[in-house]
Amino acid sequence: MKNTEVQACLLNLKKVESRLIEQMMKTTDLNHKQAFNQAMLTIAEVIEDIKTRLTQIEQQ
């Protein structure tokens, strides 16, 4: 995968994370808040993994 492709993927994941935060803040249903929060935590982990991969690609 090219550096630019990984950066684009990272940008899209950050957009998803942002949308999850927005939805979590809008809902009043506790179950929905928890679901959005769990999804947000999962996306945050993936973002960190992608950042690590991006660093590896840049060092090659």
pLDDT at 57: 87
User: Considering the entire predicted model, what is its pTM?
Assistant: 0.84
Q: Which structural domain range is residue 54 located in?
A: 3-59
pLDDT at 29: 97
pLDDT at 20: 95
Q: Which amino acid is at 37?
A: N
pLDDT at 2: 85
Structurally, how many domains does the chain consist of? 1
pLDDT at 26: 96
Q: What pLDDT, in 10s, does the model give residues 20-60?
A: 999 999 999 999 999 999 999 999 999 999 999 999 888 88
Collapsed DSSP state (helix, strand, coil) of residue 28: coil
